[in-house]
Structure formats: structure tokens, C-alpha cells
Amino acid sequence: MSLSQNPLLGPMKKSMGNFTTYSYHGMNIVRLKPFHPKDPKTEKQLNMRARMSGIAEMYRKFRGIIALGFPERDERKSPQNMFVSANFRTAFVMEDTMPVISYPLMLLAKGSLPRVTIPEATTDAGGLTIHYNAGALRPDVTATDEIIACAALTTGELLIVRQFIGFELLGTIQLKYPSLQAEQVACCYVFVRSQDGKKASDSVYVEVN
């Protein structure tokens, strides 16, 4: 980058060839762009780009859930930062030498609370019904804390439900969707979140029968 204060030229703007010019606080600024940008596309670079692209796509799809799933973080970091950090290296499998997102490996939430145990998840006329072991969460999690479930459908829809964990040892949470079939569920996750919103558990990938 160069600066020009030549009074003969006056204010400069726009581009010519590989030069871009503009005025800033009375100075003419000239930027030089390479005629032939280098983009070697090495295997390592392609791998990194595929990971970033996959992570970005998952963030767009699940951003509402991710906003709830990473409360235990430094104030300088966002839920998106935490989501990338939790998944960039571990949420992929290799297919034809390229990394591809693996739903069972991906985390939509991460924290210090105990993970939920899911004995069973089935589709029925009302939607997707998930049974969870609430007794195993105590005493770290109480009846007034939340359990959150989400399911991404092959149609592109995202089902989300939040409810109190409750007092039953074996709880039930339902994602309502009439006549839902198991093959319509691309992926499903469950995690818990404290009532004050300051803690969460790691999300659990749910196998749907």
C-alpha cells in the first residue's frame, strides 16, 4: 500500500489495472493487487476449507440451539466460536479423502453438567418421543432445570422443544410432528441446561427407531 499527497493529482478513487485508489482523510491511498493471485489448493488447504464450509453450514442450520448450548464460555467468545472449537477437529469422517460432517460426532452443546442417558427414542403418530433417565442426572441437575431436544428433518425443518426435567425418574419429551417416520429424521440431539442458563451438558446424539 502507498500514500500519495501530490496536489497535482487531487482526490483519487476507483481502479486501474492492478491498482485500487481511494481518498482517506485528505490522503490518496493506492493499493496493489496481484495480477495472478496464488491459490495452490493443496490437500491441506482443501481439507481446511471443507471443514470450515461444513461447520458454517451446520451453524446456519442449528444456530438457535447452539445459542443455548454453550453458556460456559469466556465473555470474549461467542456460542459460534465455541461451536467451531468443539467440532472443527472431531466432528468429521473422511470420505474420498475429504472431511464430511458426522452427525453422531457433532456437539451442539458442551458444558459441565452430566450427559443425558436416552434409553429409547421412537417415532409415532404424534411425532418423535424421547425417553430420558432423569434420575441419573441428580443431584447435579434438578427438576426445574431444562431438557432441550432438537431434530433436523430431511425436509430441512428443525424441530425444537424445551421443558422442565421434572420429578419422574424416567422422563419423556416429545417433538411434535404428525405421522413422522424415522427415515425423515436426519439427526436428533438432547442436552440439559440449568434454570439460570449458566451451565449445560454435552449434547447427546439420539438414535431414532
pLDDT in tens, 154-195: 999 999 999 999 999 999 999 999 999 999 999 999 999 999
- Amino acid identity, position 160: I
Residues in the chain: 209
4 half-sphere exposure, CB direction, 13 A CA radius: 17
> What distance in Å separates the CA atoms of residue 199 and residue 171, rounded to the nearest whole number?
20
Q: What's the pLDDT score for residue 3?
A: 47
pLDDT above 90 coverage of the chain, percent: 75
Nearest to 121 by CA among 163, 157, 150: 150
Using CA atoms of 33, 37, 38, 43 in order, give the dihedral in degrees to the nearest 10. Answer: 120
Question: 40-44, 118-122, 202-206: which has the minimum mean pLDDT?
Answer: 40-44
* pTM, full prediction: 0.79
Q: What's the pLDDT score for residue 2?
A: 47
Nearest to 162 by CA among 67, 31, 36, 49: 67
Q: What's the pLDDT score for residue 17?
A: 59
> What distance in Å separates the CA atoms of residue 10 and residue 66, rounded to the nearest whole number?
51
Q: What's the pLDDT score for residue 192?
A: 98
pLDDT band at 14 (very low <50, low <70, confident <90, very high): low
User: Average pLDDT for residues 7-28, to the nearest whole number?
Assistant: 62
Q: Go through the domains of the chain in sequence order and give each one's CATH number.
A: 2-32 (no CATH), 43-205 (2.60.40.10)
Cell of 69: 448450548
Q: What's the pLDDT score for residue 1?
A: 47
Question: 31-45, 82-96, 146-160: which has the minimum mean pLDDT?
Answer: 31-45
Q: How many CB atoms are located within 10 Å of the residue 83 CB?
A: 26
